[in-house]
Amino acid sequence: MAIRRLPPLRALEAFMRTVRLGSARAAADELGLSPSALSRRITSLEEFIGRKLFTRARQTMQLTDEGHQFYEAIHPHFEALARAVESQSDSVSVLRLHLGVLPLFGTQRLFPRLGELRKLHPLLHIDIDTGPHLEGRVGDTLDAAIILSRGPDTSLHAIRLDENKVHAIVSRTLADTIGPDPDLNTLAKQTFLVHNELPESFTAWKNALDMRDLEPAAIDHFDSGSIMLEAAAQGLGIAIMHDDHRRRAADPRLTDLFDIEVESPYSYWFVCKRAALEERPVRLFHDWLVRAGL
């Protein structure tokens, strides 16, 4: 059987990385190429398939409609080829990723979907770390992390996973006691629950309600979103948290104190060292996370 002529694998890899990273410069850095060398590889691929994959202007490269179509057609086969090589390699038994995750994101968003990842990549195993200071440990004890941040360190490769609203979450019993539209004096008698790493959420919430001068009876600090939700459900205070957490918890004991949407200063981000995307465990998880839309 005749073997069909295939494009150069290096050209395909240059194309896939440019699309995945969203930057020709970042793709060139990962591959150890100059921007012009990367461009030549992609040009050779365009000439091979007879399609214009990118528009080039002022040293930027934008994916064309045909480029989008080509990526969607090639991506699953590119990954299938990598999996096939892995499955036949005696040197690869397990691909291991050391991942930092905040506990509430892990229980509510990541763990319910990990079965899908395991089916796609049976050799990929993940060591989970829920310890503190995740971002600072990326590249040291962690390969990658999912963090809450106003904006990660610019030296890291980062993908924003969501945008959030800040809500005041309380038990239904406490909400009934406080009333549907509490004033400043009423709220000043309450205890508020605030996450250690998200102090500006409370400030944003007060500003949105025009209650900048609010000084509550007490502010209790937590390092766990799960425990904050339970504390709120037990009537121990008003938890200033992201609305997504209450919605995913689906706890009938909880409700919102005000019907108001406040933009959160913080978002969930996936972060890793730029060079770490060269490592297959990181890249497999990164690409799956983007496609899964967690």
Q: Which residues contact 206 (CB under 8 A, 6 or more apart)?
A: 212, 214
Residue 293's pLDDT is 83
Portions of the chain given CATH number 1.10.10.10: 9-87
Strands 238-242 and 165-171: antiparallel
Q: Which two structure tokens, joined as six digits, stand for 281?
A: 């465990």
* pLDDT bracket for residue 99 (50, 70, 90): very high
Q: Kindly report, residue by residue over 153-182, the tens digit of the pLDDT.
A: 998 999 999 888 999 999 999 999 998 889
Distance (Å, rounded) from C-alpha 281 to C-alpha 97?
6
Output the DSSP codes for 224-244: -HHHHHHHHHTTS-EEEEEHH
Least confident of 83-97, 128-142, 171-185: 83-97
* Residue 83 pLDDT > 70: no
* Residue 18 pLDDT > 70: yes
Find out if CATH 3.40.190.10 is the number for domain 165-265. Answer: yes
* Residue 249 pLDDT > 70: yes
Residue 163's pLDDT is 86
Portions of the chain given CATH number 3.40.190.10: 95-160+268-292, 165-265
Q: Which two structure tokens, joined as six digits, stand for 75?
A: 């991506």
Cα dihedral: 102, 241, 194, 210 (round 10)? 150
CATH number listed for the domain at residues 95-160+268-292: 3.40.190.10
Q: Which CATH architecture has domain 9-87?
A: Orthogonal Bundle (1.10)
Residue 113's pLDDT is 94
